[in-house]
């Protein structure tokens, strides 16, 4: 199936694997998909995990998501969606963005992972 950029945002029921070069808009697409999940009431920030390769990229991703949420609050007319965006902004600290390593260590199951690493 041909995957288009629009499908990344619209096909919220399907998992999507995207391979694309640097600067092609992968982070933009991921952030827009996260925003669409919030807008649709399909997810909340405390149920999301955005995993990247570097801490710098993880911090950038969270920053861009926050900026896009703030912009969405300003532009959105639908009160219900505005409420979901505001709730996401209030609960930003519960959004996991991090590296694969921090994900394994910080996720609830990470306790077992850490234990194994030490023994």
Ligand X SMILES: Nc1ncnc2c1ncn2[C@@H]1O[C@H](COP(=O)(O)OP(=O)(O)O)[C@@H](O)[C@H]1O
Q: Which residues bind ligand X (CB under 6 A)?
A: 20, 22-28
Cβ neighbours around 98 below 10 Å, total: 22
Number of residues that bind Mg ion (CB under 5 A): 2
> Sign of the CA dihedral 68, 26, 18, 100?
negative
Minimum separation from the CB atom of position 7 to ligand X (A): 13
Does 27 help bind Mg ion (rule: CB under 5 A)? Answer: yes
Instruction: Return d(Cα 94, Cα 89) in angstroms, integer.
Output: 10
Instruction: Return d(Cα 76, Cα 19) in angstroms, integer.
Output: 31
The one of ligand X, Mg ion, none whose footprint includes residue 115, by CB under 5 to 8 A per kind, is none
Does 44 help bind Mg ion (rule: CB under 5 A)? Answer: no
- Which residues contribute to the site for Mg ion (CB under 5 A)? 26-27
């Amino acid at each position: 199936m041909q995957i288009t950029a629009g499908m990344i945002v619209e096909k919220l029921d399907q998992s999507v694997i995207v391979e694309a070069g640097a600067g092609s808009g992968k982070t933009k697409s991921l952030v827009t998909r996260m925003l669409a999940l919030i807008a649709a009431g399909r997810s909340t920030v405390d149920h999301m995990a955005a995993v990247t390769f570097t801490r710098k990229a993880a911090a950038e991703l969270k920053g861009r998501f926050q900026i896009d949420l703030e912009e969405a609050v300003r532009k959105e007319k639908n009160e219900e969606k505005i409420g979901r965006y505001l709730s996401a902004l209030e609960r930003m600290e519960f959004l996991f963005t991090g590296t694969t390593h921090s994900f394994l260590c910080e996720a609830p199951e990470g306790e077992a992972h850490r234990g194994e690493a030490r023994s």
